Amino acid sequence: MARTRSKPAIKDPVPASTSAATAALPPSALDPPKLFILPTGASPAARIVTLPNPVTASPTRYFFCPKTGFYEFTKIAAPKKVSRSWLLAPHKAAEDRLHKITNSPEEVSQQGAGNSDKHDSAENIIDTPLISKGYITKSADLFVATPLDLMFLILPALSPISSVSKESQKQLFLSLDDYLDALSASSPHLKQLLLNSKLQDKISRRMAAICDIVDAGDEKMYRLSQRKLLAALLSKAERMAKEGLPTSMEEKFVRSVLEIPIMSVRREESELGSAPQTGPIPVGEGEEATEDKSQSATQSFGTATPVTTTGDSQSPITSSSTVSSLVTPTLPEVALSKPPSTAPEGILHLLRIRTILTFIFSSYIPPHLHKQLQALLQDTKSPDFAPLDAHLSHIASMHSQVQALRSLSDNISRKRGFEGDDEAAEARAEKKRMKEEEEKRKKNESKAVKQLKKVDTTGMKKLSAFFVKVGSKK
Amino acid sequence: MLEARLEQANLLKKVVDAIKDLVQDCNFDCNDSGIALQAMDNSHVALVSMMLKSESFSPFRCDRNIALGINLTSLTKVLRCAQNEDILTLKAEDAPDVVNLVFESAESDRLSEYDIKLMDIDQEHLGIPETEYGAVIKMPSAEFQRICRDLIALSESVSIECSKEGVKFACQGDIGSGSVTLRSHTNVDKPELNVEIDLTEPVALTFSLKYLVNFCKASGLSGQVKLCLSNEVPLLVEYALSNNSYLRFYLAPKIGDEE
Q: What is the DSSP string of chain B?
A: -EEEEES-HHHHHHHHHHHHTT-SEEEEEEETTEEEEEEE-TTSSEEEEEEEEGGGSSSEEESS-EEEEEEHHHHHHHHTTS-TT-EEEEEE-SS-SEEEEEEE-SSS--EEEEEEE--------EE------SEEEEEEHHHHHHHHHHHHTT-SEEEEEEETTEEEEEEE-SS-EEEEEE--B--SS-GGG-BEEEESS-EEEEEEHHHHHHHGGGGGG-SEEEEEE-TTS-EEEEEE-GGG-EEEEEEPPB-S---
CB spacing of A448 vs B40 below 8 angstroms: no
CB spacing of A452 vs B43 below 8 angstroms: yes
How confident is residue A440, by pLDDT bands cut at 50, 70 and 90? confident
The yes-or-no verdict on residue A176 having pLDDT over 60 is yes
Q: How far apart are CA A156 and CA A364, in angstroms?
A: 10
User: B251 near A465, Cβ under 8 Å?
Assistant: no
How confident is residue A411, by pLDDT bands cut at 50, 70 and 90? low
Q: Does A443 touch chain B (CB under 8 A)?
A: no
How far does A434 lie from chain B, in Å, by closest CA? 16
Q: Does B86 touch chain A (CB under 8 A)?
A: no
Q: Which of B44, B68, B72, B217 to mutate to test the interface with A (most CBs of A within 10 A)?
A: B44
The yes-or-no verdict on residue A246 having pLDDT over 60 is yes
The string of pLDDT tens digits covering residues A369-409 is 888 888 888 877 777 788 888 888 888 888 888 887 776 66
For residue A207, give the H/E element and its range.
helix A197-210
Q: Which of B210, B230, B249, B250 to mutate to test the interface with A (most CBs of A within 10 A)?
A: B210
Q: How far apart are CA B166 and CA A283, in angstroms?
A: 102
Higher pLDDT among residues A127 and A64, named by residue: A64
Q: Starting from the edge strand earliest in sequence, which strands make up the sheet with B166-172, in order? A: B177-182, B166-172, B157-163, B203-208
Q: How far apart are CA B98 and CA B92, in angstroms?
A: 7
Helix (H, G, I), strand (E, B) or coil at A401: helix
Of A312-326, A341-355, A441-455, B27-41, the range with the highest mean pLDDT is B27-41
CB spacing of B24 vs A444 below 8 angstroms: yes
Residue of B nearest to A445 (CA): B24
Residues of chain A positioned with their CB less than 8 A from the CB of B257? 458-459
The yes-or-no verdict on residue A259 having pLDDT over 50 is yes
How far does B249 lie from chain A, in Å, by closest CA? 11
Residues of chain A positioned with their CB less than 8 A from the CB of B119? none
Q: Distance of CA A257 to CAs A45, A48, B26, Å?
A: 46, 39, 64
CB spacing of A471 vs B255 below 8 angstroms: no
Nearest to A250 by CA among A258, A261, A238: A258
The string of pLDDT tens digits covering residues A54-99 is 888 788 888 888 778 888 888 887 777 777 788 877 766 655 554 4
How far does B186 lie from chain A, in Å, by closest CA? 34
How far does A430 lie from chain B, in Å, by closest CA? 19
How confident is the model at residue B103, as a pLDDT? 93
Q: Does B140 touch chain A (CB under 8 A)?
A: no
Helices A176-186, A150-158: axis angle to 10 degrees equals 100
How confident is the model at residue A415, as a pLDDT? 52
How confident is the model at residue A28, as a pLDDT? 63
Q: Does A468 touch chain B (CB under 8 A)?
A: yes
- pTM beyond 0.80: the answer is no
Q: Give mean pLDDT, residues A264-280.
A: 42
Residues of chain B positioned with their CB less than 8 A from the CB of A450? none
Q: Does B119 touch chain A (CB under 8 A)?
A: no
Helix (H, G, I), strand (E, B) or coil at A272: helix
B257: left (phi over 0), alpha (psi -120 to 50) or beta: beta
Report ipTM (2 d.p.).
0.77
CB spacing of A460 vs B126 below 8 angstroms: no
CB spacing of B256 vs A459 below 8 angstroms: yes
CB-CB neighbours of A61 under 10 Å? 22
Residue of A nearest to B70 (CA): A444
Nearest to A366 by CA among A205, A179, A152, A187: A152
Nearest CB partner across the interface for A470, out of B41, B45, B126: B126
Q: How far apart are CA B121 and CA A290, in angstroms?
A: 75
CB spacing of A464 vs B124 below 8 angstroms: yes
Contacts for A326 with CB less than 8 Å, ≥ 6 apart: A264
For residue A74, give the H/E element and its range.
strand A69-76
Q: How far apart are CA A437 and CA A444, in angstroms?
A: 11
Q: How far apart are CA B41 and CA B204, in angstroms?
A: 24
Residue of A nearest to B67 (CA): A474
Residue B4 β-bridge partners: B60, B90
Flag the least confident range among A183-187, A338-342, A451-455, B125-129: A338-342
Q: What is the DSSP string of A428-452?
A: HHHHHHHHHHHHHHHHHS-HHHHHH
Flag the least confident range among A23-27, A166-170, A224-228, A289-293: A289-293
Please list the ranges in chain B whose pLDDT falls under 70.
Answer: 256-259
Q: How far apart are CA B248 and CA B22, in angstroms?
A: 12
For residue A335, give the H/E element and its range.
helix A332-337
Q: How far apart are CA B89 and CA B101, in angstroms?
A: 6
Q: How far apart are CA A290 and CA A287, in angstroms?
A: 5
How confident is residue A424, by pLDDT bands cut at 50, 70 and 90? confident
Mean pLDDT of chain A: 68
CB spacing of B125 vs A453 below 8 angstroms: no
